[in-house]
Chains A and B, each alone.
Chain A
Amino acid sequence: MGTLLAVAVAGGLAAQGRVPADVAAVVQQLVDRAAAVGLPVEPLREKAIEGGAKGVPAERVIAAVRSLAAQLGQAAAAARAAGIARPSADVIEAGAFALNAGLDQREVEALVRRSRPPYTPAATLRVAGTIAALGVPAGETAQVVEEAMDAGTAPGELLDLPQEVERGVAHGDSPGAAAAGLGRGQATAPGLNQPHGNSQGPQGQGKGQSHKP
């Protein structure tokens, strides 16, 4: 992108009053570099705006944008290593989110690799990132999500996992314990989470299963 255009765009960011002009110029350079290697740039612009809105000093804003650009790059590399030749913006952003939440590049790569159809890597990574953001250690997070896929969880249901962890935390478990004990899910006040339909419960009401060879 030509210098004139870069200045104009940087001026645009600054003109919105959201980002000081000097920061905007540096951010634009980072944006250009990211775009040149095929990384999504919208998150970078958003991060700069966020820093401006929060009144963060210029160097800190630039550092954060730089760091985010690096995470986007790492995520893209992980996706490529996992076999996606041209990762989409969605996958890269989701990967960066997971990295920021505490997973490492290897774990991101493994999750992408395991996310064959019907699973989508972007959704898997966002679920993992959210679980890690709840405080579950990264290794356990990756394991929990992979196990869910191994257990044949429907892709839509994968997104219930963070909620389950959160419920456990709300009942006093540590995040790691909540992830390990997934599904305890019972409110302390009986009456919440009432079952729907006519679940009759145990002893004589269930159906048999066929294990017959």
Chain B
Amino acid sequence: MRAAEPLSDGEVVHAILTGDVEQYAVLVKRYRDRYARYAARMLGSPDAAEDAVQDAFVRAFDQLAQCREPDKFAGWFFLILRNRCFAERRRSHRDARPLGMQDEAIAGPDRSDRHVERAEDRRALERALERLTPEQRDVFVLKHVEEMSYEEIAALTGASVPSLKMRMHRAYDRLRALLKELA
């Protein structure tokens, strides 16, 4: 038996909305890993990312009738996931604990920029990223982890390129200040 041509996202969505709920598994399989890294970097761990992605898929199903361009399900789903990450970050931002003694030990006694090892860099950077606002972290991850251009980010999120740049530039400054503080 020949395998059928894969259905487009739009065709799958249509099938689901006309009652074939099981087709949703097609979309889940297609996109479950695409945004995993983004969610992990936004929320700080793969576990948190998994919760967020699962939650986002369920919400997307609930709102599926609202997806105006079903052939662009991926981008629409990403926005739901992104909102979920923002909400999560805002919650934890409010509850954020200040850097503990343990973190200072990891940062090491030598405070000169030149001598920090790569792994140390990475840990320090992660802690600094934790302290960005959700919006700043979002644009930073999309640009420097997912390596998207400003234009691509603008198209995906609906923000304008100038405002993305401004957010990013503020994020750069904030990171610099935080890294100095943490070093």
Q: Do the two chains touch directly in the complex (Cβ atoms below 8 Å apart)?
A: yes
Q: Which residues of A contact B (CB under 8 A)?
A: 144, 147-148, 150-154, 157-158, 160-161, 163-164, 181-187, 189-197, 199-209
Chain B interface, number of residues (Cβ within 8 angstroms)? 47
CB distance from A88 to the nearest CB of B (A): 25
B162, A199: Cβ atoms under 8 Å?
no
CB distance from A60 to the nearest CB of B (A): 39
Residues of B with C-beta under 8 A to A191: 66-69, 76
Residues of A with C-beta under 8 A to B165: 148, 151-153
A206, B147: Cβ atoms under 8 Å?
yes
Residues of B with C-beta under 8 A to A196: 155
CB distance from B79 to the nearest CB of A (A): 5
CB under 8 Å from chain A, chain B span 5-64? 33-38, 60, 63
Q: Which residues of B contact A (CB under 8 A)?
A: 33-38, 60, 63, 66-69, 72, 74-76, 78-80, 82-83, 86, 133, 135, 139, 142, 145-149, 152, 155-167, 169-170
Given A203-B34, A203-B37, A203-B38, CB of A194 within 8 Å of CB of B163? no
Q: Secondary structure at chain B's binding surface: helix, strand, loop or mixed?
A: helix
B147, A209: Cβ atoms under 8 Å?
yes
Given A185-B157, A186-B82, CB of A202 within 8 Å of CB of B163? no
B75, A194: Cβ atoms under 8 Å?
yes
Residues of A with C-beta under 8 A to B66: 189-191
Q: Closest residue to A184 on the B side, CB-wise? A: B135
Query: Which 3 pairs across A and B sit closest by C-beta, in order of nearness?
Result: A193-B158, A183-B163, A202-B146
Residues of A with C-beta under 8 A to B37: 202-203
Residues of A with C-beta under 8 A to B161: 153, 157
